[in-house]
Amino acid sequence: MNKDLTDPTKSKIYEALIDQYTSVEPDDPLGSDMILNFGPQHPATHGVLRLVLRLDGERVIGCVPEVGYLHRGYEKLAENMTYHEYIPHTDRLDYLSPLSNNMGFALAVERLTGIEAPPRAQYIRTICSELARISSHLMATGSMAMDVGALTILLWTFREREKLYDIFEVLTGARFTTSYSRIGGVAQDMTEDVEKMIWQFLDYLPEAIQECERLLNRNRIFVERCDMIGIIEPDDAIAYGLTGPNLRGSGVERDLRRDTPYFVYPELDFKVITHQGGDSLARYYVRLDEMYESAKIVRQCLEKIPKGEIHANKPKKVLPSKERVYTRMEEMIHDFMIVNFGIHPPPGEIYSAVENPKGELGFYIQSKGGGVPWRLKIRSPSFVNIQSLPHLLRGVMVSDVVAVIGSLDPVMGEADK
Amino acid sequence: MIAQRAAEKLKERFPDSVLSVSEFREQLLVQVETSAIRDVCLFLRDDEELQFDMAIDVLGADRLVVESTSEKADYINDPFDRQIRSKKQEISMNERFEVIYVLYSNKHKEYVRLKVRVAESGQKVPSVAQVWKSANWAEREAYDMFGIEFEGHPDLRRVYMPEYFEHFPLRKDFPLMGIPGSLPLPDKQ
């Protein structure tokens, strides 16, 4: 092994920092600017994001994000396991909203296989996605406020998330790693107890959000730390491929729930929240308002949800229910075949995307007809959003770096895959 | 369907470069000549009617089918093996890798996909990082995972793996368990 390559000061990441405008040696002690390593172990980087910042005094003049500290090779793993076996791994992508990842993956495989989940399962999926969105946005709001010094909000939003986790526990059997979706349906039916719990939560939620709003919206410290910081114009936001609340914070109306309809979103009435400005504050407002909209969507779903099956009627593709596996021959054979050999979608390749709390979560699946995907690419929103950090951070103060990262709301589990 | 319209326009504008147009589950995939990909992308972005202004994703893929050795032959007959390893299928090394571009038009709210094929070594794909800024890291990831090189990329470094890593992990001939010793631990002080 060449020693030079393992020496961090000779790393290419520093070379990337020197652009056409600056020619100062990064090691030069007498230069007016300095190099600051920010992360990977830093509480404000939301995991293990590393930024190499080039500072002029206290201003950031260059930034190179470095990801990969949490790389677990999920795309390689996917090529070696069946589609059903992969569902638990989608929990670990965006671990703040595992439910919506589950649903996105199941939808992608269903589109590839050509099956459709029955209406009740579709409604349950919509409810799950929106509850996950509320949970993720609560976390984003709390941690962003904490990054600029308001610890109270974090504790309050965590208290609300705790109630959501209680609901997830009764619904899916797990608080955190839910693995709730199945190809062609969901794992188990939603009981009336869960519906009651969700109604109670929805009644309480607006008040809880307003509590946080009262602490933040007219809080001078918070507003001045976020207003006009980390600005990205709509054109740049589109060019950088930002999606989700970060794009809508720049005033671009792009929401896959409305634009490329899936689940039961076309039947529901909701607004696409946008805010002008493109700064940290706008992104914060988008998340706050989206929580109200999500609550509205869940309400409509709970009112409309029909009774019926939760699995599609495709015996060779969809796992049968456990009681039937234990009592019937046919179902037992199918269960054995699906668990051991996979569901064998036809050869072909598709791209399927859903609107996750963080942005567009896409799965590109190449199938060659076997039980396992030939290639499964995860288009993770956080990875693309982090890419825009050099643009957002140009010219801001060092202390604002944490506020900008918090407003982008990246999750490294997803960015590093 | 703007994707169909895009395919038609591409055929008109680049009659020699568009190799095939295929459709699967109502999603269009246009295979184009590798050397023409940047021009095709610029056309799709700047055309008044189409306006594909977002590159949602750029991804690599490996088409290599693992050749069976005599030791592996039993493994192929094993019914519990879930990978498809047909011995007959032979992929030309001149077209081993694929790069797939998933584009999105905010005006029409639709996707279109492009595909190019690349040789195992010696061939470079023209980079589209100057066309869409979001392609920058996506191409870096394709380079990191498959070793596909992009010509004219401003900053082609590895994204996930360390700089000194010598292999390309998502290639089909890279073992799942990894290569022992390829990621050295720090020296004991």
Tokens of B35: 């050397």
- Say which DSSP state A213 is in: H
Say yes or no for a CB contact (<8 Å) between A16 and B157: yes
Residue B180 inside a domain? The answer is no
Average pLDDT of every residue of chain A:
86
Q: What is the pLDDT of residue B176?
A: 83
Percent of chain A with pLDDT strictly greater than 70:
92
Query: What residues does A56 pair with on adjacent strands?
Result: A33, A59
Q: Distance from B28 to chain A by nearest Cα, in Å?
A: 9
Kindly report whether the peptide bond that precedes residue A261 is cis, defined as omega within 30 degrees of 0: no
- Contact of A412 with A69, CB cutoff 8 Å: yes
Query: What residues does A348 pair with on adjacent strands?
Result: A367
Q: Distance from A167 to chain B by nearest Cα, in Å?
A: 34
- How far, in Å, CA of A52 to CA of A45, rounded? 12
Task: Determine how many CB atoms are found less than 10 A away from the CB of residue B175.
Answer: 10
Going A205 to A210 to A211 to A212, the CA torsion angle's sign is positive
Residue B177: pLDDT band by 50, 70, 90 thresholds? Answer: confident
Say yes or no for a CB contact (<8 Å) between A5 and B164: yes
Chain A: residue whose CA lies nearest to B100: A364
Q: What is the predicted ipTM? A: 0.85
pLDDT higher for B164 or A408? A408
Question: Parallel, antiparallel, or unpaired for β B150-151 and B125-126?
Answer: parallel
Q: What is the pLDDT of residue A400?
A: 87
Chain A residues 51-110 within an 8 A CB cutoff of chain B: 67-68, 71, 73, 75-77, 80, 82
Q: Is the pLDDT of residue A247 over 70?
A: yes
Tokens of A30: 């007498």
Q: What is the pLDDT of residue B157?
A: 85
Whole-number CA gyration radius for chain A:
23
Residue B177 inside a domain? The answer is no
- How far, in Å, CA of A182 to CA of A103, rounded? 8
**Shortest CA distance to B101 belongs to which of B92, B91, B90, B112?**
B112
pLDDT higher for A6 or A223? A223
Percent of chain A with pLDDT strictly greater than 90:
28
**Shortest CA distance to A100 belongs to which of A41, A21, A180, A175?**
A180
Domain that holds residue B106: 2-151
Residue B174 inside a domain? The answer is no
Helix (H, G, I), strand (E, B) or coil at A412: helix
Query: What residues does B117 pair with on adjacent strands?
Result: B98
Residue A302, judged by CB atoms within 10 A of its CB (0-12, 13-18, 19+), counts as middle
Q: Is the pLDDT of residue A179 over 50?
A: yes
Q: Distance from A399 to chain B by nearest Cα, in Å?
A: 26
- Contact of B153 with B142, CB cutoff 8 Å: no
What beta strand segments (E) does A336-382 contain?
348-356, 359-367, 375-379
Residue B10: pLDDT band by 50, 70, 90 thresholds? Answer: confident
The verdict on B166 touching A (C-beta cutoff 8 Å) is no
Domain spans of chain A?
74-381
**Shortest CA distance to A63 belongs to which of A407, A391, A403?**
A391
- Contact of A362 with B102, CB cutoff 8 Å: yes
- How far, in Å, CA of A410 to CA of A240, rounded? 15
Helix (H, G, I), strand (E, B) or coil at A199: helix
Chain B: residue whose CA lies nearest to A376: B61
| pLDDT tens-digit readout, A75-125 | 988 888 888 889 999 988 888 889 999 999 999 999 999 898 999 999 999
CA A119 to chain centre: 25
Residue B8 inside a domain? The answer is yes
Average pLDDT of every residue of chain B:
81
Q: What is the pLDDT of residue A18?
A: 60
Residue B111 inside a domain? The answer is yes
Give pTM, 2 decimals: 0.87
Q: In total, how many domains does chain B have?
A: 1
Sequence-distant (6+) residues with CB within 8 A of A147 are: A44, A402, A403, A405, A406
| pLDDT tens-digit readout, B107-147 | 888 899 999 988 888 888 999 988 898 899 999 999 999 98
Residue B107 inside a domain? The answer is yes
Residue B40 inside a domain? The answer is yes
CATH number where B81 lies: 3.30.460.80
Q: Which CATH number fits domain A74-381: 3.30.56.10, 2.40.420.20, 1.10.340.30, 1.10.645.10?
A: 1.10.645.10
Helices (H), ranges, A114-148: 119-147
Helix (H, G, I), strand (E, B) or coil at B60: strand
A60-71 average pLDDT score: 86
| pLDDT tens-digit readout, A181-227 | 889 888 888 888 899 999 999 998 999 899 888 888 888 888 888 88
Q: What is the pLDDT of residue B78?
A: 46
Half-sphere exposure of A201 (CA within 13 A, CB side): 29
Going A299 to A269 to A358 to A95, the CA torsion angle's sign is positive
Report the amino acid identity of residue A345: P
Residue B182 inside a domain? The answer is no
Q: Distance from B95 to chain A by nearest Cα, in Å?
A: 16
Helix (H, G, I), strand (E, B) or coil at A127: helix
Helix (H, G, I), strand (E, B) or coil at A19: coil
The verdict on B59 touching A (C-beta cutoff 8 Å) is yes
Tokens of A412: 């490294």
Question: Parallel, antiparallel, or unpaired for β B27-32 and B18-24?
Answer: antiparallel
Say yes or no for a CB contact (<8 Å) between A80 and B62: no
Residue A353, judged by CB atoms within 10 A of its CB (0-12, 13-18, 19+), counts as buried
- Contact of B159 with B135, CB cutoff 8 Å: no
